[in-house]
Structure 1
Amino acid sequence: MRALCLLIVACFLSGCGALGFPGVYRIDVEQGNLVDQEMVDQLQPGMSRRQVRFILGTPLVEDPFNAARWDYPYVIRNGEEVIRKAQVTVRFDGDSLSEISGDYLPEWARDDAEPAAGDSSD
């Protein structure tokens, strides 16, 4: 009787994911908007919301209390292991793109932009 109870408890725990079966394949789960550097490089200051939506897609997070901010999070996991994670946030001034922050930035939005090759600050 005790062995039967332990077997039932083990089955319930394995169904909840507390115990894993060795060798079981776990699929990669993608969540969010896939945004890469090539897409972000197409953005220019002053673009309309419609143009930004065309390039990056519909934002995953569109805050109803702050309509000037769109968030594009992305994560890909295999079980509990995070394989890749990225975040891009765009901000608008009215209907014009004004700022980008996150893991991918166009050259015009980088703070650490290198001076041109011909420039010297001697």
Structure 2
Amino acid sequence: MIYRFNAVTKFPEARMRCYRPLLLALACTLPAACSYKPSFINEYKIDVQQGNVLTQDMVAQLKPGQTREQVRFILGSPLITDIFHQQRWDYVYRFREGSTGAVQARKFSVFFDADGRLERVNGDVEVATVAELTAPVERMRVVDLGTISPEAAAEEAPSPEEPGFFRRMIKKIGF
């Protein structure tokens, strides 16, 4: 039997040296392969809502001369109360839609006088007009569920149907 020796079989570390560039290339491509995302795969992104939600109805209830407690009851606690501007409350709202990434931002400020009474407001939400404040609000609705004619009301109610097989068996057993 003839044994042939060469550098790769004689020295195992020489064989390992051949594989090092291959292992290095593999180690560099694996993170890149994990970060690739095909264009047809879309991850779900949630809608993010931050701050105070102010509606037009809430702002319409504000009247000059209201106390801080009344304003807090109507609008809620302010998001920003600055210690350097104690006569001002800021209500900030930001909404980022997850699917499109569109951002809506609103800012509404409430200013008080030295006595703590509402003096003026400023911001993105519009103040109600006098006509809107004095217009009567309809709070009740009449819903017609259908009317019965006098002939249908005079008819007798149909007799109950004869019980089915299982109902008769349950009655015989005594349940």
TM-score (norm 2): 0.52
SS of equivalent residue, structure 1 residue 43: coil
Report the CA distance shift for 1:8/1:65 in structure 2 as closer, same or farther (over 3 A). same
* Alignment correspondent of 1:45: 64
* Alignment correspondent of 1:64: 83
Q: Any conservation in 2 of the 1:76–1:84 contact (CA below 8 Å)?
A: yes
Q: Which amino acid aligns with 1:48?
A: T
Which segments of 5 or more consecutive residues in structure 2 lack a partner in the other structure?
A: 1-23, 130-175
Report the CA distance shift for 1:78/1:10 in structure 2 as closer, same or farther (over 3 A). farther
Please report how far the alpha carbon of residue 42 of structure 1 lies from its aligned counterpart in structure 2 after TM superposition. 0.2
Please report how far the alpha carbon of residue 20 of structure 1 lies from its aligned counterpart in structure 2 after TM superposition. 9.5
CA distance in 2, matches of 1:96, 1:29: 34
SS of equivalent residue, structure 2 residue 73: helix
Whether 2:21 is the aligned partner of 1:2: answer no
Q: Any conservation in 2 of the 1:75–1:82 contact (CA below 8 Å)?
A: no
Count of residues in correspondence between the two structures = 103
Q: Any conservation in 1 of the 2:59–2:128 contact (CA below 8 Å)?
A: no
Report the CA distance shift for 1:44/1:78 in structure 2 as closer, same or farther (over 3 A). same
Mapping for residues 11-50 of structure 1, pairs under 5 Å: 11=34, 22-50=41-69
SS of equivalent residue, structure 1 residue 100: strand
CA RMSD of aligned residues (A): 2.5
* The structure with more helix, counted as a fraction of residues: 2
Report the CA distance shift for 1:9/1:63 in structure 2 as closer, same or farther (over 3 A). farther
CA distance in 1, matches of 2:71, 2:48: 26
TM-score (norm 1): 0.72
Say which one has the larger Rg: 2
Greater relative contact order (Cα < 8 A, sep 6+): 1
Whether 2:108 is the aligned partner of 1:85: answer no
